[in-house]
Structure formats: C-alpha cells, structure tokens
A and B are shown apart, each in its own frame.
Chain A
C-alpha cells in the first residue's frame, strides 16, 4: 500500500478524457517520477491527484484514506504540498514573505521550519528581502519548493521543477530534491528531462496518451531497452 496513490484515474477537461485508468503513487521518503512524451497527460495526472481535476472514475488515497472528494486547499491541510509549473511564486512579495505565506494555514510557530528551509536552500537566505519576481529562474524554483515545504507536508508534488533552467541549475535542484526526500517526505514529480529524473527516482511511471505504459524502479526503466529507445533517446 503506497502512502499516496491516484488509482485507476479516468477524467479530463470537459467531455474528452485525458487520463485513462491511470495510476501513479509514491511512498514516504521515496522519489517517484512521472515521465512520458508531450501530451501524455503527466501534468494532468498530477492535477488529478491534487484535486484540480474532476475524476470520472478512480480514486485518490492518502495514508489509506479516500481523499477523492477533497478540494485542493483541504488536501494542503491534510499534508500535501504542490508546486505548480508556472506562476509558482508571489512575484512582488519578498522571498521571506513567500515562505511565510506558504505557512499561512499553520497557527503554530514556524521559525524552525523556516530555518530548515533556509538551510536547505542557502541562496534564499541571501535573497531573503528581495522580491521573488526579481530572482533567476532556478532561484525562483527554490522559492516555490521552499514555499510548499513550509506547511511541513508529508507529500510534495512538483510539476516540472526544472522547466526552463540551465543543466547546472537542474542538477542542483535534483540534489535538493533528494535531500528533501531523505527527510522522509514523499516526492511525486513530473519531469521533462526523463533520463536525469529517472536516475534519482525510486519509482518511475511512463505515461503514454493518458495510460500507464511502463511502471518500475527508476534504474530498471533506465536499463529497459524499449523504454530507452522510445522515450530516452537511445
């Protein structure tokens, strides 16, 4: 039984279904990566797990509890953190204020969490008083991940965290994501850079046209000749 799982999800926007009987999930302390060609429904699957898409059938379970009917905000309170692909920071707020807003629902003292996040992303400490909109793409992604971590989520969902950043920054981001996973947080992410992502993944889901094509450990998928030829460029 996985900690978070979207089971046999079918649904889409309007009449046409994008997901067909699609299952993705992740366990605590694990990194699960969803890869696949453009238009495979990767981001849609993430949105479905987070409750931003109405499912025609299938369900979402978290720690054994059925949360299919919950709104995204309620899932945040249950311990899910979501980092959207774009517009994932408050541009005119400072880095520090962005992090504080991440902890908006928390009534307890957040200073410990704040210092943990700043330790994880040291660059944010330097830029603490700068508006997030003025940061570089990679730094902004760190703000976005940091903001989601402020609720102390049990599951962190990342929608293409490395979109639009340079390869060096991408490596650094992946390192940070591994560190986050080591603290026991389950990480479910969609990635365009399939090869690099599968390297750090405990589990990989290859989606094609809204269906599960391959599901295995990251290493096994990298070793699989069919997967390599079709999706990883040989």
Chain B
C-alpha cells in the first residue's frame, strides 16, 4: 500500500506534469530542428514565435468569450488555435521574405543567420509587448480537471491523490496527433521526402529538380504552425507571460541538441528527456521517502536535489554534457 502511495505521488508530481511539459518542449524542439535541418541555422527567434502564436490565441480567446462561444468542458483556446497557427505561419513567412531570404541569396554563413535570428527575436519580443503588454494572462477556461485528486482517492482508497488537468490531457493528445501527422508527412508524402532530401544533400536535391524556395516555404509553414501550437499549449498549461517564452528557449534548444539537431525523432525524445530531468532533479522526495522507508528513518528535510529555482540550470548542464561528450546528440544528428 505504501509503495503504491509512493508511486502515485511520483505520478502526480512528476510523470503527468513531465509528459505535458515534455510534449510542449518536444513540439518546440521539432520546430527548431526543422529550421536547422533545412535552413541550416539555429533560430533563436523560435521562442518569441511561440509567444506570438500564444498571444494571438489569447486575444482570440478573449473575443470568443465575449461572443459567448466556447467548447464546454474544453478550453475555448482550441477554437482560437487554428487562427493563431495561420497568423504565426504568416509572420514566419513574412520574416523569411523580408529578412532571411536576403541572407540566403548572399549565401551567408550560419553564424550570420544566428545573429540575425537574435535580432528577429528582439523585434518579435517588442512587437508582442507592444500589442499585449508584459503582464501575466490566464486564458484557460472550461473544466479544470479531467481527474480530480479527491475522486481518485475515493476510487482507489489510497491516501494520495492523482490529478490530471484538462490542459495536460489536451497537451498530450494534441502533441501525439501532431507528431504523428508530421512524421507521416515527412516519411510518406513526396513533398515531405523532398524536404528530407534537401536537408540531406542540397546539391543533389537541386540536380533532382527539387525547388529550394518551395522547401523553405513549407519548412516555415510547419515551423510556424508548430510554434503557435507549442506556445499555446504551454500558455494554457501554465499561463501566458511573454517573458517566460524567452527562458523557454534554453530547454527547447537543449531538447533539440540532446536528441540530435536535425533529427525529428531526436527532438521529441529530447523534449521528454529534458522535461523529466528537470522534474526528477527538482522534485522533493520527502513524501516518497516517508512512504518507502521505515517510520524512524523518515527524512526531516525536503530531500530535494536542487531547488525548483534552478530548474533552468538542469537543461543547461545536460546541454553542456551532451555537447562535450556526444556533440551529435543521442540520435546522430548534425554536429553544431
């Protein structure tokens, strides 16, 4: 019984949040990896692109709420999401046209692109603060929990409860569907295969008649859609605050690099690796230990390896270790 209780504590505080957070990171990292493998640069503006998508969702959600349009138990944001994805795709394509295409024609080095993307990041950030301001916004509505802790306790008779938030459920389901769609697109469609071919060998792709401009355009469309999705899901789960998306950049890049930059499977796995590492290292094991150890051994402290304030440091350390020991990442991506 005690060990079951201990398991439920871990499930409630680590596994469920880890799956949700991991899915959000995975979707973000997938976008970063796509840009890296096709356009060959690390897009630092990706976090702000996610923020932009989430902002559009917030604005649309407010408007829909005013019109009394909703989805009942599900968050209204899900109706707003397609619009946000379209707007983010538009922003990504416009940025490519105005900014990145110039450097593509000049055949700039990837370091130049990287610096340019930092500039784009600040521009997006300014635009977002100009439109919606820096404040923290909660835009989740509908039913709060799929499974309430109290209901779980009643159902199982355990001391500990397991709660699953609606937003966590939505995040995981949406992520699974979208990832499946992306992999189907990349592996089964002619256009998807041509994107992988272009990423593999640019010159041979040209010789095979693959149009690079079209590949670039499709990459930005997918990246924009993914960014809006990841940003909105993260905002739904926590809350929408523009600043947090800047700090999300580190775990997202860590996910992409840990998995192997340029490798979509790696980006997904990397997302979960980073999410679970953060949670397992900053989790307070006191309760678990109390259940598992004989009464007299029960710890007095929190039994926490690292305070949650240092959460970001975890991804930073993982990033460093991977770059030092295995620069291609777990799934043989490209070396940065």
Q: Tell me the A residues contacting B by CB distance below 8 Å.
A: 72-73, 76-77, 82, 84, 87-93, 97, 100-102, 104-105, 147, 151
Cβ of A90 and Cβ of B203 under 8 Å apart?
A: no
- A84 and B204 in contact, given A92-B196, A93-B193, A101-B194 (Cβ under 8 angstroms): yes
Residues of A within 8 A of B210 (CB): 101, 104
Interface assignment of B154: CB less than 8 Å from any CB of chain A: no
Residues of A within 8 A of B207 (CB): 72-73, 76, 82, 84
Interface string of B183-202 (1 = CB under 8 A from A): 00000001001101100110
A sample of 29 inter-chain contacts (CB < 8 A) reads: A72-B206, A72-B207, A73-B206, A73-B209, A76-B208, A76-B209, A77-B209, A82-B207, A87-B203, A87-B204, A89-B201, A89-B204, A90-B196, A90-B201, A90-B204, A90-B205, A91-B200, A91-B201, A92-B196, A93-B197, A97-B193, A97-B196, A97-B197, A100-B193, A101-B193, A101-B194, A104-B194, A104-B197, A104-B208
In the complex the two chains form, what is the Cα distance from A88 to B205 in whole Å?
A: 10
Q: In this complex, what residue of A is CB-closest to B191? A: A104
Most chain B CB within a 10 A radius of its CB, from A84, A88, A91, A92: A92
Label chain B's interface by main secondary structure: helix
- A147 and B208 in contact, given A97-B193, A101-B194 (Cβ under 8 angstroms): yes
Residues of A within 8 A of B204 (CB): 84, 87-90
Cβ of B203 and Cβ of A101 under 8 Å apart?
A: no
Q: In this complex, what residue of B is CB-closest to A131? A: B200
Cβ of A100 and Cβ of B190 under 8 Å apart?
A: yes
CB distance from A50 to the nearest CB of B (A): 9
Residues of A within 8 A of B196 (CB): 90, 92-93, 97
With beta carbons under 8 angstroms apart, the residue of A87, A91, A92, A101 that contacts B208 is A101
Since A90-B196, A91-B200 are in contact, a sample of 14 more A-B pairs with Cβ atoms closer than 8 Å, ordered by chain A residue number, is: A73-B209, A84-B203, A84-B204, A90-B200, A93-B196, A97-B193, A97-B196, A101-B193, A101-B197, A101-B210, A104-B194, A104-B197, A104-B208, A105-B209
Most chain A CB within a 10 A radius of its CB, from B197, B203, B204: B204
CB distance from B304 to the nearest CB of A (A): 42
In the complex the two chains form, what is the Cα distance from A77 to B205 in whole Å?
A: 14
Residues of B within 8 A of A91 (CB): 200-201
CB distance from A153 to the nearest CB of B (A): 12
Cβ of B206 and Cβ of A101 under 8 Å apart?
A: no
In the complex the two chains form, what is the Cα distance from A102 to B207 in whole Å?
A: 9
CB distance from B319 to the nearest CB of A (A): 24
Q: In this complex, what residue of B is CB-closest to A73? A: B209
Q: In this complex, what residue of A is CB-closest to B37? A: A92
CB distance from B43 to the nearest CB of A (A): 21
Q: In this complex, what residue of B is CB-closest to A106? A: B209
Residues of B within 8 A of A147 (CB): 208
Cβ of B206 and Cβ of A90 under 8 Å apart?
A: no
CB distance from A80 to the nearest CB of B (A): 10
Closest 8 CB pairs of A and B: A105-B209, A90-B200, A101-B197, A90-B197, A104-B208, A104-B209, A101-B208, A92-B200
CB distance from B223 to the nearest CB of A (A): 20
Residues of A within 8 A of B201 (CB): 87, 89-91
In the complex the two chains form, what is the Cα distance from A105 to B194 in whole Å?
A: 11
Q: In this complex, what residue of B is CB-closest to A82? A: B207
Q: Which of B18-71 contact A (CB under 8 A)?
A: none
Q: In this complex, what residue of A is CB-closest to B209? A: A105
Residues of A within 8 A of B206 (CB): 72-73
In the complex the two chains form, what is the Cα distance from A88 to B203 in whole Å?
A: 9
Most chain B CB within a 10 A radius of its CB, from A90, A91, A102: A90
- A93 and B209 in contact, given A100-B193, A101-B193 (Cβ under 8 angstroms): no
In the complex the two chains form, what is the Cα distance from A174 to B193 in whole Å?
A: 31
CB distance from B37 to the nearest CB of A (A): 10
CB distance from A114 to the nearest CB of B (A): 14
Interface string of B252-274 (1 = CB under 8 A from A): 00000000000000000000000
In the complex the two chains form, what is the Cα distance from A102 to B209 in whole Å?
A: 8
Q: Which of B197-255 contact A (CB under 8 A)?
A: 197, 200-201, 203-210
In the complex the two chains form, what is the Cα distance from A97 to B196 in whole Å?
A: 10
CB distance from A163 to the nearest CB of B (A): 16
Most chain B CB within a 10 A radius of its CB, from A76, A82, A91, A104: A104
CB distance from A222 to the nearest CB of B (A): 33
CB distance from B120 to the nearest CB of A (A): 29
CB distance from B320 to the nearest CB of A (A): 27
Residues of A within 8 A of B208 (CB): 76, 101-102, 104-105, 147
With beta carbons under 8 angstroms apart, the residue of B190, B200, B203 that contacts A104 is B190
Residues of A within 8 A of B193 (CB): 93, 97, 100-101
Residues of A within 8 A of B190 (CB): 100, 104
Most chain B CB within a 10 A radius of its CB, from A82, A87, A101: A101
